[in-house]
């Protein structure tokens, strides 16, 4: 099979690696990217030998003879590029978030309704082994109907959102869209309910300051003492990518956020994310509570616990560590290959992406206005 890429960024490269593992004969046949010269100069290992470069998405679809397309542009272009691909009915792998504005979200909803199952949205947490087992336990009725959820994401690598292009909120849409979109999706997937309202709050307490706009770590006189200095980055690649001072006046993004989400049954969940914790303070997972029992899991500990409420029983399930979004990347790549082969439909559809993005956008609006927001899907 032949695939093409629109926006050959670092994330889509890792996705392609997983796709190639599923189908070693698959060919990266075509790329559209305005950074062609830079990419070609940096990648010298032969992986792009034989790949044809095109000037536009239209050209790559007209001439590329493609079995699938992957969109890995920056976030603000996801909707625009997807709307070019969808009418061609070519299987599409679309990076999250699917949209960064309500206007784009509505456009994508209208343009993609007939193609939802032909799109795999990059939501690998829902395909991870842990989330699938959590859903299986809940679906069995063991803990009763889920009536409350507490979810967290304490991000130990949060510096990425303040040191490089992710700091531009006009590009990212804020950290609900960048991070919570993954968590909201797996929560929606497990619950199999639609959110109906949200209220949210964000804070920016750490990554702010009076350093000059555009200041780079390498030029800062405090770069040997600052805890966030890229001088302490673990790799040369990170030192090159994480360029800017995270305590400058132009440092964007909140550094913590929380949301309360009500679902159609009347139950609600609480969600909180944080971007300045480090090392062992990292955590990502949730507690699902029913009347009979509670299921909790944490991606970092690789553990699920089932705690019954009325009997002295606790079950523990432990997993081997898996790379690539805790094994979810491999499962999502396999699904995309099967979609291109005509064997399966998407397990992470465009509609799933739209619902998660809408919830994130409404959470952001709630935080900005101090109001409850209705999740109106009409």
DSSP-assigned states of every residue in 5-40 = EES--HHHHHHHHHHHHH-TT-EEEEEE-TTHHHHH
Looking at residue 239, its pLDDT comes to 74
CA distance linking residue 195 with residue 359, whole number of Å: 8
Whether residue 237 is predicted with pLDDT greater than 80 in this model: the reply is no
Tokens representing residue 370 in the block? 């101090």
Q: What is the pTM of this model?
A: 0.96
| pLDDT for residue 241 | 76
Task: Go through 204-213 and write b for each residue having 16 or more CB atoms within 10 A of its CB, e for each that does not.
Answer: eebbbeebee
The predicted pLDDT at position 83 comes to 97
Stretch 281-288: mean pLDDT: 98
Say whether pLDDT at 343 is over 90. Answer: yes
Q: Which of 185-189, 233-237, 306-310, 355-359 comes out lowest in average pLDDT?
A: 233-237
Task: Provide mean pLDDT across the span 87-94.
Answer: 97
* pLDDT given for residue 378 in this prediction: 72
206-234 average pLDDT score? 90
CB atoms near residue 32 (< 10 Å): 24
Tokens representing residue 346 in the block: 């998407």
Average pLDDT value for residue range 349-367: 98
Other Cβ atoms closer than 10 A to 308: 14
Contacts of 70 (CB under 8 A, 6+ apart): 3, 4, 5, 6, 12, 15, 16, 92, 93
* Interatomic CA distance for residues 87 and 78, integer angstroms: 15
User: Would you say 9 and 78 are in contact if contact means Cβ atoms under 8 Å apart?
Assistant: no
Does the structure show a pLDDT above 80 at 16?
A: yes
Range 126-144 average pLDDT: 98
* Domain coordinates in residue numbering, the chain: 2-125+329-349, 126-322+358-374
| CATH class for the domain made up of 126-322+358-374 | alpha beta
Is the pLDDT confidence value at 236 over 80? no
pLDDT at 114 over 90: no
Segment 70-86 shows an average pLDDT of 97
Banded model confidence at residue 238, pLDDT cuts 50, 70, 90: confident
> What's the distance, Cα to Cα, between the start and end of the chain in Å?
38
Q: What CATH superfamily classification does 2-125+329-349 receive?
A: NAD(P)-binding Rossmann-like Domain (3.40.50.720)
pLDDT greater than 90 at residue 113: no
| Residue 363 DSSP label | H
Q: What is the average pLDDT across 267-280?
A: 97
Name the nearest CA neighbour of 250 among 175, 155, 165.
Answer: 165
Residues of the chain with pLDDT > 70: what percent? 100
Give the pLDDT of residue 234: 72
- What is the reported pLDDT for 111? 94
Residues 339-354, mean pLDDT to the nearest whole number:
97
pLDDT-wise least confident of 36-40, 149-153, 267-271 = 36-40
Look at 100-109, 183-192, 220-229, 236-245 and tell me which has the smallest mean pLDDT: 236-245
Cβ contact 333:18 at 8 Å? yes
Residue 216 is predicted with a pLDDT of: 92
Report the SS3 class of residue 327: coil
| pLDDT of residue 316 exceeding 90 | yes
User: 124 or 116: which carries more pLDDT confidence?
Assistant: 124
β-sheet with 195-203: strand ranges across: 314-318, 303-308, 293-298, 283-289, 148-154, 268-274, 256-263, 195-203, 373-374
What is the model's pLDDT at position 187?
A: 98
**pLDDT tens track for 186-213:** 999 999 999 999 999 999 999 999 999 9
């Amino acid at each position: 099979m032949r695939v093409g890429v629109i926006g050959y960024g670092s994330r889509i490269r890792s996705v392609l690696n997983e796709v190639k593992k599923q189908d070693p004969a698959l060919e990266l046949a075509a790329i559209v990217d305005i950074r062609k010269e830079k990419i070609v100069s940096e990648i010298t290992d032969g992986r792009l030998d034989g790949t044809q470069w095109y000037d536009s998405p239209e050209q790559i679809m007209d001439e590329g003879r493609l079995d699938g397309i992957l969109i890995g542009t920056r976030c603000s272009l996801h909707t625009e590029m997807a709307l070019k691909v969808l009418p061609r009915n070519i299987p599409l792998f679309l990076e999250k978030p699917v949209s960064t504005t309500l206007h784009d979200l509505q456009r994508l909803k209208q343009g993609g309704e007939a193609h939802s199952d032909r799109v795999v949205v990059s939501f690998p947490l829902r395909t991870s082994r842990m989330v699938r087992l959590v859903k299986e336990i809940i679906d069995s009725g063991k803990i009763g109907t889920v009536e409350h959820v507490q979810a967290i994401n304490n991000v130990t690598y949060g510096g990425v959102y303040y040191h490089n292009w992710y700091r531009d909120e006009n590009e990212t849409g804020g950290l609900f869209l960048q991070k919570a979109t993954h968590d909201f999706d797996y929560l929606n997937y497990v619950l199999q309910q639609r959110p109906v309202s949200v209220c949210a709050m964000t804070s920016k307490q750490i990554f702010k300051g009076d350093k000059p706009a555009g200041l780079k770590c390498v030029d800062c006189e405090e770069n040997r003492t600052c805890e966030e200095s890229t001088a302490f980055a673990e790799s040369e690649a990170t030192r090159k990518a994480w360029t800017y001072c995270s305590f400058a006046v132009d440092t964007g993004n909140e550094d913590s956020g929380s949301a309360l989400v009500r679902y159609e049954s009347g139950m609600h969940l609480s969600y909180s994310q944080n971007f300045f914790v480090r090392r062992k303070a990292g955590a990502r997972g949730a507690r699902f509570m029913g009347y009979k029992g509670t299921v909790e899991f944490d991606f970092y500990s690789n553990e699920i616990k089932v705690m019954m409420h009325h009997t002295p029983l606790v079950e523990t399930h432990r997993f081997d560590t898996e790379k690539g979004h805790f094994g979810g990347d491999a499962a999502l790549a396999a699904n995309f290959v099967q979609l291109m082969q005509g064997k399966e439909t998407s397990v992470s559809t465009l509609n799933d992406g739209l619902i998660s993005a809408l919830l994130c956008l409404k959470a952001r609006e709630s935080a900005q206005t101090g109001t409850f927001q209705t999740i109106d899907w009409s």
